[in-house]
Amino acid sequence: MTKQGFPQAGNNLDPWYHHYAERAAGLRASEVRALFAVASRPEVVSLAGGMPFVSALPQDLVINAMDKVMLEQGAVALQYGSGQGIPLLREQILDVMALEGIRANADDVVVTTGSQHALELVSKLFLDPGDVVLSEGPSYVTAMVIFKSYQAEVEHVPMDEHGMIPEALREHIVRLRAAGKSIKLLYTIPSFHNPAGVTLSWERRVEILQIARENNILVLEDNPYGLLYFDQPAPDAMRSIEEDGVVYLGTFSKTLAPGFRVGWALAPHAIREKLVLANEAAVLSPSSFTQLVISEYLSTADWKGQINTFRGVYQERKNAMLGALEEFLPELTWTNPNGGFYVWVTLPERLDSKAMLPRAVKELVAYTPGTAFFADGDGRQNMRLSFCYPTPDSIRLGVRRLATVIRGELDLVDTFAGTDLLGAVDDKRRFSAPPPNIS
């Protein structure tokens, strides 16, 4: 009965094919997503995903917080809450942000279902079809998926080892304005960038905010990794310099655990009001239960000590990755992140990271091709290697396998050089806006 219910509409695969909103066309599976399935096979060393190493968090700390919440505030924890988030947690979030120089009022904090959802809500509030979002090139995959899902265009601004290049930003703005574009947001991950691994210098933070101010562009500062520095902290957050022009996004996913899905936005007051309404429309309220567990954890556990523990874990892993790269792949170049989760690797010109991936998986190592991090097809000569989740030994093994794959590729390319057996390569895509590349 139901199968023949909609013969006139859609197609054989989807009877509702012609029913979707225009924006639904922008929702496509990302390359990173497809990799999660591959990476979950135990024999594969995955240097692809961005999962934090939550096993470094003592379970007792979480269990104690949970039990105390249920015993002392069970009826609140199980109930709907405020669309803005629990007041005490919003106060505690101020303490977290103060570590990066931010002074704010808890009234301007909105708790969200991970900072990802803050990104979604800000995009819903600001992006009309055809609007432009400026972001670093490369940039965070799922931010770009959101921007495109609201039919906005992502324009990449080149980076170097000090982050986004201010002069390039100015040029992009002039060019886009001349083309009649409406530039709504400047999306940036200034500290320990995903995927580039670099950090925006203090001088550039000041200058980029100045450019945004002059051009009336709202800055969206995404800072999931800022507290996970290695030898020295990143410069203070951009939000510490500028209040009215920045929406700041933070999260407990990396400093505590992503399984709770608790992040936040700190926004100029009027934007904050609209964010709360958008949050209520989307989820009524973020989970009272997980908010209270985190609030209890922050009240009673040594959360700063725990962040130090995470720092140590990730620094050791980064060192393992860079050591293995130097040992097994000295002919490549890569970034040397001073925090966060990622190293951005540049391959020899004649290799294509996307085309090489199936062979890497066959050799039981996974990475994310650079193309995933560009809206325009760039990044074939790059790959993101994540050191957050695998152990140092696994990282070493993974890089060694990667070296085997790359050597094999180079042999292949050199053997067939000058023939067209390797397929066409789009040089324009391959070399424009080269991402940072510092060994």
- Of residues 321-360, those binding a second copy (CB under 8 A): none
87 sits near a second copy (criterion: CB under 8 A): no
Provide φ and ψ at 368, rounded to 5°: -105, 120
Radius of gyration over alpha carbons of the chain, in Å? 22
Window 173-232: residues binding a second copy (CB under 8 A): 184, 213, 216, 218
Binding mask 380-419 for a second copy (x = CB under 8 A): ----------------------------------------
Kindly report each contact of residues 18-23 with a partner whose C-beta sits within 8 Å and lies 24 or more positions away, as own/partner.
22/129, 22/151, 23/129, 23/149, 23/150, 23/151
User: How far is C-alpha 128 from the chain's CA centre?
Assistant: 23
Only one of the segments 265-273, 329-337, 340-348, 431-439 lies at the binding site for a second copy (rule: CB under 8 A); that segment is 265-273
> What is the Cα–Cα distance from 163 to 157, expressed in whole angstroms?
10
100 sits near a second copy (criterion: CB under 8 A): no
Q: What is the token pair recorded at 179?
A: 């083309």
Q: Which amino acid is at 15?
A: P
Among 81, 195, 197, 250, binds a second copy (CB under 8 A): 81
126 sits near a second copy (criterion: CB under 8 A): yes
Q: Which amino acid is at 25?
A: A
Could you tell me the smallest distance in angstroms from the CB atom of residue 360 to a second copy? 22
**With CB under 8 A, what is the number of residues at the site for a second copy?**
90
117 sits near a second copy (criterion: CB under 8 A): yes
34 sits near a second copy (criterion: CB under 8 A): no
> What is the Cα–Cα distance from 237 to 101, expressed in whole angstroms?
6
Among 2, 178, 305, 421, binds a second copy (CB under 8 A): 2
On whether the CB atoms of residues 200 and 235 are closer than 8 A, the answer is: yes
Of 80 and 416, which CB lies nearer to a second copy in the complex structure?
Answer: 80
How many residues are listed for the chain in this entry? 439
Window 39-58: residues binding a second copy (CB under 8 A): 51-52, 54-55, 57
Degrees to nearest 5, angle at CA 136 with 309 and 374:
100
> What is the Cα–Cα distance from 300 to 323, expressed in whole angstroms?
38
Of 6 and 416, which CB lies nearer to a second copy in the complex structure?
Answer: 6
Among 233, 268, 323, 392, binds a second copy (CB under 8 A): 268
User: How far is C-alpha 193 from the chain's CA centre?
Assistant: 8
Among 134, 278, 395, 399, binds a second copy (CB under 8 A): 278
On whether the CB atoms of residues 256 and 303 are closer than 8 A, the answer is: yes
Of 109 and 119, which CB lies nearer to a second copy in the complex structure?
Answer: 119
62 sits near a second copy (criterion: CB under 8 A): yes
28 sits near a second copy (criterion: CB under 8 A): yes
Among 84, 139, 290, 338, binds a second copy (CB under 8 A): 290
